[in-house]
Structure 1
Amino acid sequence: MQTKTKFEVNSNLSLILNNFHVDECVNFMKNNMADNSVDLIITSPPYDNLRNYNGYTFNFKEIATELYRITKKGGIVVWIVGDKIKNGNKSLTSFKQALYFQKIGFNVHDVMIYAKKNTPFMRSNAYTNSYEYMFVFSKGKPKTFNPIKEPTVRNGMEMLVANKGADAKNNKVLKELKKEKTKSNIWYYAVGLGGTTNDKEAFQHPAVYPEQLALDHILSWSNEGDIVFDPMCGSGTTCKMAFLSNRNFIGVDISEEYIEISKNRLKKYRD
Structure 2
Amino acid sequence: MINKIIAGNCVEILNKIDKNVIDMVITSPPYDNLRTYQGYLFDYKLIAQQLFRVLKVGGVVVWVVADATINGSETGSSFEQALYFKSIGFNLHDTMIFKKQNPIPQIYRKRYNNEFEYMFVFSKGVVKTHNPIKIPCLHAGLELRKTTYKNFSKNEQKREKIANPVKKDKIKGNIWEYVVGKKIEDQAAKGHPAPFPYQLAIDHILSWSNIDDIILDPMCGSGTVCKSAQDLGRKFIGIDISEEYCDIARSRLKANLQLL
User: Is the shorter-chain TM-score for this pair beyond 0.5, marking a shared fold?
Assistant: yes
Q: In 2 relative to 1, CA 163–136 (structure 1 residues): closer, same or farther, beyond 3 Å?
A: closer
Q: Which amino acid aligns with 2:105?
A: F
- Deviation string for 1:143-179 (max 9, x for gaps)? 0000001111111231235489xxxxx9878722111
Structure 1 residue 26 corresponds to structure 2 residue 15: no
Corresponding residue to 1:219 among 192, 206, 222: 206
Corresponding residue to 1:240 among 227, 230, 247: 227
Partner of 2:156 in structure 1? none
Partner of 1:140 in structure 2? 125
Partner of 1:183 in structure 2? 172
Q: Whole-Å Cα distance in 2 between the matches of residues 178 and 123 of structure 1?
A: 45
Partner of 1:55 in structure 2? 39
More divergent stretch after superposition (81-90 vs 215-224): 81-90
Corresponding residue to 2:106 among 122, 142, 150: 122
Following TM superposition, the consecutive aligned residue runs of length 4 or more in structure 1 with deviations greater than 3 angstroms are 161-164, 170-174, 197-201
Equivalent residues of 1:118, 1:190 under 8 A apart? yes
Q: Whole-Å Cα distance in 1 between the matches of residues 54 and 231 of structure 2?
A: 23
Q: In 2 relative to 1, CA 44–158 (structure 1 residues): closer, same or farther, beyond 3 Å?
A: same
Q: In 2 relative to 1, CA 174–34 (structure 1 residues): closer, same or farther, beyond 3 Å?
A: closer
Q: Whole-Å Cα distance in 2 between the matches of residues 198 and 206 of structure 1?
A: 16
Partner of 2:56 in structure 1? 72
Equivalent residues of 2:147, 2:164 under 8 A apart? no
Equivalent residues of 1:117, 1:188 under 8 A apart? yes
Query: What is the CA distance between 1:127 and its match in structure 2?
Result: 1.1
Corresponding residue to 1:202 among 189, 196, 214: 189
Q: Whole-Å Cα distance in 1 between the matches of residues 194 and 19 of structure 2?
A: 30
Equivalent residues of 2:66, 2:118 under 8 A apart? yes
Q: In 2 relative to 1, CA 99–174 (structure 1 residues): closer, same or farther, beyond 3 Å?
A: closer
- Deviation string for 1:45-75 (max 9, x for gaps)? 0111111111111111110000000000000
Structure 1 residue 264 corresponds to structure 2 residue 251: yes
Structure 1 residue 37 corresponds to structure 2 residue 31: no
Q: Whole-Å Cα distance in 1 between the matches of residues 48 and 99 of structure 2?
A: 25
Gap regions ≥5 residues in structure 1: 1-15, 165-169
Corresponding residue to 1:159 among 145, 159, 163: 145
Aligned residues: 249
**TM-score, scaled relative to structure 1:** 0.88
**TM-score, scaled relative to structure 2:** 0.91
* Identity percentage of aligned residues: 51
- Deviation string for 1:118-154 (max 9, x for gaps)? 1132251111100000000000001000000111111
Q: In 2 relative to 1, CA 67–173 (structure 1 residues): closer, same or farther, beyond 3 Å?
A: closer
Q: Whole-Å Cα distance in 2 between the matches of residues 171 and 198 of structure 1?
A: 45
Q: Whole-Å Cα distance in 2 between the matches of residues 52 and 173 of structure 1?
A: 53
More divergent stretch after superposition (173-182 vs 218-227): 173-182
Please tell me the root mean square deviation across aligned C-alpha atoms, in Å: 1.9
Equivalent residues of 1:159, 1:172 under 8 A apart? no
Secondary structure of the residue aligned to 1:80 is strand
Q: Whole-Å Cα distance in 1 between the matches of residues 161 and 23 of structure 2?
A: 44
